[in-house]
């Protein structure tokens, strides 16, 4: 029972302090889940991000569900998911009424512009951390560059990039092993 409450409370705190959507939550997820709680390793979290990106829903919510299920079974998955979305539901419900009344004010527009820039930096920092942990050899550099080029040049769903990267990882590793 203690782990279920801890899952809910931890993800509720993350949900309450993260602005900018699921991607902005990634650095906070990494710090809480890997460094503070030890509920997942860096590698597991990266896998959860990848799976969460190519499944329906918001990546942070999907990741919370995966971690909750790992630590507390089905009930843990449900409570972690509820925890991460509950603060947003409350805050959005309150703000929805206020925003429509004050969105025309310059200071509100400027505040949101500043928040957007901050979120970009948070996402960039999360990407750099993931990059350092994921791109570790020639094989992963090739996959990274191919996916980067493909995502910049093609208008495809992220699911196709994840599937292609998985296939490339398998093929390149097998090629590497045969060459050794």
Question: Under a CB-based contact definition with an 8 Å cutoff, are residues 49 and 63 in contact?
Answer: yes
- Angle between the N-to-C axes of helices 106-134 and 138-153, in degrees from 0 to 180, rounded to the nearest 10: 150
What's the helix, strand, coil split of the chain in %, to 5?
85, 0, 15
| Nearest alpha-carbon partner for 162 in 24, 22, 26, 51 | 51
64 and 127: one domain? yes
| Model confidence pLDDT, tens digit, residues 147-159 | 999 999 999 988 8
Per-residue pLDDT, 10: 92
Helix (H) or strand (E) holding 115: helix 106-134
> What is the count of structural domains for the chain?
2
129 and 95: one domain? yes
| Model confidence pLDDT, tens digit, residues 106-144 | 888 898 889 889 888 888 888 888 888 889 988 899 999
Q: Which domain holds residue 60?
A: 2-134
| Model confidence pLDDT, tens digit, residues 40-79 | 988 888 888 888 877 777 888 888 999 999 999 999 999 9
159 and 107: one domain? no
92 and 172: one domain? no
117 and 139: one domain? no
For all residues of the chain together, what is the average pLDDT?
87
| Model confidence pLDDT, tens digit, residues 20-36 | 666 777 788 888 889 89
């Amino acid at each position: 029972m203690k782990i279920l409450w801890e899952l809910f409370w931890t993800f509720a705190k993350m949900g309450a302090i993260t602005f900018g959507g699921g991607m902005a939550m990634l650095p906070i997820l990494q710090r809480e889940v890997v460094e503070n709680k030890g509920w997942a390793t860096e590698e597991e979290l990266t896998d959860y991000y990848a799976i969460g990106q190519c499944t329906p829903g918001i990546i942070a919510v999907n990741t919370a569900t995966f971690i909750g299920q790992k630590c507390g079974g089905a009930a843990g998955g449900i409570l972690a998911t509820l925890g991460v979305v509950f603060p947003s539901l409350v805050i959005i419900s309150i703000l929805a009424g206020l925003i429509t009344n004050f969105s025309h004010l310059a200071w509100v527009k400027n505040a949101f512009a500043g928040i957007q820039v901050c979120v970009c930096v948070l996402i960039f920092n999360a990407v750099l951390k993931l990059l350092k942990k994921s791109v570790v050899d020639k094989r992963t550099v090739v996959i990274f560059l191919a996916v980067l080029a493909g995502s910049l040049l093609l208008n495809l769903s992220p699911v196709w990039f994840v599937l292609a990267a998985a296939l490339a990882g398998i093929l390149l590793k097998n090629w590497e092993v045969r060459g050794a």
